[in-house]
Structure 1
Amino acid sequence: MVEHRMVNVNGVRLHLAEQGEGPLVVLLHGFPESWRSWRHQFGPLAEAGFRVVAPDQRGYGRSDHPADVEAYSILHLVGDVVGLIRALGEEQAYVVGHDWGAPVAWHTALLRPDLVLGVAGLSVPPPFRGKEPPLAAMDKAFGGRFYWNYFNRPGVADAEFARDPRTGLRKFVYAASGDAPGPVKQPLVDPERGWLAAMRDPETLPEWFTEDDLDALTESFSGGFTGALNWYRNLDRNWELTAPWAGAVVTSPALYVYGERDLVPAFPGTPELIERLPGLMPGLRRPPLELAGCGHWTQQERPAEVTAALLDFLRDCQSR
C-alpha cells in the first residue's frame, strides 16, 4: 500500500509517496504532473523487492513552492534528490525520471555518481551541454515561438493554465499523447493566443487516463502553476551553472526509454543524439528503447512495457 508523508530537505518540505522495502528507487515526475504519474509502477516494483519513493518535486503538489525563481535551478533540484536519499536513511539509490524529472535524474548521476546505483530517463535523453544557452538557441530557431520561450514570459503561461486548470490539463495531456491524431510537430506557440488555445479538447479521455486521474492532477495544481513553470525559467541559468561539466558524460549504469510519438525526442538535434547514445554513454545497458505508438506520457501510456523495462534494468544492475 502506498503511504504518504512529508520530509524536510534543503530548507523545503517535500511530499512523498512510498511503498515497499529493499534497495531505494526514486521516481521523479515531470511537467505538468505529480507523484501519481508513477501510480502503475509502485506495486510491481515494491513486489519485486524495492523501496519505491516518488516525491512531488519542489514547486509541485503538496511540496513547498519557493517564491524565488532562482530556487529552481538544476543544482537545487539535484540537491533535493541527494537530500531525499539521505533523509530516507539510505546511502545510494536508483534514480528514474520522466520529462523534467529525467534531466534531474541524469544530472544527479552526472554530479553525484557515488550516490547513484543506476539511472533511467524517460522521454528526455541524457544531458549533453550545447554550445549556447538553450533559450537563445530556440529563439533563433523558431523566432521566439518555441514553448520554452513562451514559458519564460513572466506570468503569461501561469495565467493561461490557471484560467481553467482542468480543461487546460485535459487538452495538454491529450495533445502530447500518442492518441492525438496527426504528425508529431514542434511545440510552437502563437504568443497572442497562447498555447492551450490551439490544442484540441477531446470529447473523451484516452483509456489510460481516467476522469479520476484528471481530477487528481487538477487538484495537485490548486496552488497554481508558477512553481512548475519556474523550472523552465532556469534553462539558461542551468547552462551557465553546468559549465564545469561541459563534455562530461553519465557513467552510471543507464537506461533510456522514449515514445515513438513523443514530441521531445523530435526536438532539433535530438533524433541524431539518440542515434549516437550507445557510443556516447559508457553505462548504457541496452540501446534506447522506443515504444511504438507511444506519446509523451510513457509510464502512463505504456505502464506494462515501462515497468518491465525498469525491472529488467534494475535486476541487471543488481547482478553486476
Structure 2
Amino acid sequence: MSGPTHRTVQTNGIRMHIAEQGSGPTVLLCHGFPESWYSWRHQLKALADAGFHAVAPDMRGYGGSDAPQAIDGYTLLHLVGDVVGLVEALGDKQAVIAGHDWGAPVAWHAALLRPDVFRGVIGLSVPYRPRGPVAPTTLMPQTDEAVFYQLYFQAPGVAETEFERDPRLTVHAMLFGASGDAPRRDPNAPVGMVPRGGGFLRNAMSPLPLPKWLTKDDIDFYAGEFARTGFRGGLNWYRNIDRNWELLSPFHGAKVTVPALYMAGDRDLVVAFRGMDQLIANLKNFVPQLSQTIILPGCGHWTQQERADDVSNAMVKFLRELHGPGDNLRS
C-alpha cells in the first residue's frame, strides 16, 4: 500500500490540511505540541492496513492548516468544532477520535460534547481531566526562581522568540528531552519548571542524540514546518487554558460516556505531574466505558512515535472491538 495522500478541506471557518490513508470506518488522529500530522505516520499505515480510513490533520495553527491571528481563536470549543466539521467534510456521520498531548484534550472533549459524532475515543499521554473548581493556571507551580512551563508559554512572543531562533534545535531538544531515552530525572525534582529568565531549552544536551525511533529525516520534516509557520499557533493553545475552563462551565461534572482507551509511557513527564497518579488510577470514574489503561514501560512522552507498533496494535484491537464483525474489517 502506498503512503498517505494529502488534501485541504474546509471546516469550522478554516482550511485544514489532512493526511489520509485507507478506506473503511474513519479514525481521526489529533497531534499535539510541537508536532503535525506527521507524528501519526506509523499509525496511518497500520490503521489503513487493518481496514480503517485513518485521517491525521494538521491541527489549527499548525503546518498546512490555517492559523488565525487572534489568541482567543484557539479555545477547546474551536478545536472541537474543527474536528466535528472535519467529520462532515469527509462525508461521514461518525468517527472514532484519537489524540496525543494537546490532541488528547481535543479528543476527550470531542467525545464529551458530541458523543453522537464520536463513537469512541483514544487518549495518549494526557488522560481526561474533569473540570476543577478553579482556573487551572492558578494551581500551576511557581517559585521565585522558576515557573511551570505552561505559565512560561502564556506571554505572547516570549516562547516564540526562543523557539524560532533555531527551529531544528527546538524540535530535536523537545523530542529527545521528553522521550524515554533521555537521562532519568531526579524523582524528587519538580517537573516541567522553567527558570525565570533562563528559557525552556536551557538544558538541551549538545550534541543531541538520535534515539532509534527518531531519524534525521523526521527532525528535518518537523523543523521545516516550524521554520515556515513559527510556533505561535501551537503556543496559543496554552494561552486559552483558563478561557477553556470558563467556557466549559456548563459541563462541570459531565462524564465521557463513549468507549475509551488510554495509553501512556511510564517515563512520560505528564504522568509525573502533580496529581496525575491519582487521576489515572481513578480515570474510570470520569470515563465509565474506559476499556483499558495501558502503561508502556520505558516509553516517554512521544507515545505513538516511541512505541509505534505497541500503540498501533492496541488501537486496532480497540477499534475492532468497538466496530464488531459487521463492519467487514480486514483480519
**Does 2:206 align with 1:194?**
no
Deviation of 1:182 (Å): 1.7
Alignment partner of 2:215 out of 191, 210, 214: 210
Query: Residue 275 of structure 2 aligns with which residue?
Result: 269
Moved more, 191-200 or 34-43: 191-200
More off after superposition, 123-132 vs 96-105: 123-132
Unaligned runs of 5+ in 2: 326-331
Q: Distance in 2 between matches of 1:181 and 1:142?
A: 26
Q: Which of the residues 93, 98, 101 maps onto 2:100?
A: 98
Counterpart check, 1:248 vs 2:248: no
Is the 1:170–1:201 contact (alpha carbons within 8 Å) kept by the matching residues of 2? no
Match 1:227 to one of 206, 229, 233: 233
Relative to its length, the structure with more helix (as a share) is: 1
Change (3 A) 1:142 1:64: farther
- 163, 166, 189: which one aligns with 1:164: 166
- What aligned pairs does 1:30-69 form with structure 2 within 5 A after superposition? 30-69=32-71
Q: Cα 1:89–1:179, aligned 2, differ >3 Å: closer, same or farther?
A: same
Cα distance in 1 for residues equivalent to 2:145 and 2:274: 14
1:5 aligned partner, one-letter code: R
Question: What CA deviation, in whole Å up to 9, does each residue of 1:233-253 have, x standing for no partner?
Answer: 000000000001111110000
| CA displacement at 1:136 relative to structure 2 | 1.2
Q: What does the per-residue CA deviation read over 1:72-116, in whole Å, with 9 as the maximum and x for residues that have no partner?
A: 000000000000000000000000000000000000000000011
Q: Choose which of 302, 315, 321 in structure 2 pairs with 1:316.
A: 321
1:79 and 1:48, CA in 2 relative to 1: closer, same or farther beyond 3 A?
same
Structure 1 Cα separation of the partners of residues 204 and 136 of structure 2: 25
Maintained 8 Å contact 2:31/2:99: yes
1:173-184 to structure 2, matched below 5 A, reads 173-183=175-185
8 Å contact from structure 2 (residues 130, 286) kept in 1? no
- Cα displacement (A) at 1:278: 2.9
Letter aligned with residue 52 of structure 2? F
**CA 1:225–1:203 in 2, change beyond 3 Å: closer, same or farther?**
closer
2: CA distance between counterparts of 1:56 and 1:48?
A: 23
1:134 aligned to 2:136? yes
Q: Which moves more between the two structures, 203-212 or 24-33? A: 203-212
Q: Which residue of 2 aligns with 1:4?
A: 6
How many residue pairs get aligned? The number is 319
Note the C-alpha offset of 1:202. 4.2
2:164 maps to amino acid: A
SS class of match (1:189): strand
- CA distance change for structure 1 residues 293 and 274 in 2, over 3 Å: closer, same or farther? same
Mind listing any 5+ residue stretches in structure 1 that lack a counterpart? none
- So what's the TM-score if we normalise by structure 1? 0.97
Are 1:167 and 1:201, in contact at CA under 8 Å, matched by a contact in 2? no
Q: Secondary structure at the match of 1:304?
A: helix
* Residue number in structure 1 paired with 2:311: 306
Aligned-partner SS, 1:6: strand
Letter in 2 for 1:257: M
SS across alignment from 1:84: helix
- Pairwise CA distance, 1:165: 0.6
Q: Does 1:278 align with 2:280?
A: no
Report the secondary structure of 2:55's partner residue.
strand
- Decide whether the 8 Å contact of 1:27 with 1:38 is kept in 2: yes
Cα displacement string for residues 94-151 of structure 1 (whole angstroms, at most 9, x for unaligned residues): 0000000000000000000001111000000012111111111105689860001000
**C-alpha separation between the residues in 2 aligned to 1:140 and 1:39?**
37
1:103–1:126 CA contact under 8 A, matched in 2: yes
CA gap 1:117/1:150 in 2 versus in 1, 3 angstroms: same
Structure 2 counterpart SS, 1:54: strand
Taking every aligned residue pair, what percent have the same amino acid on both sides?
54
Mean Cα displacement is larger for which, 199-208 or 46-55? 199-208
- 1:70 aligned to which of 52, 65, 72: 72
- Tell me the SS of whatever aligns to 1:196: coil
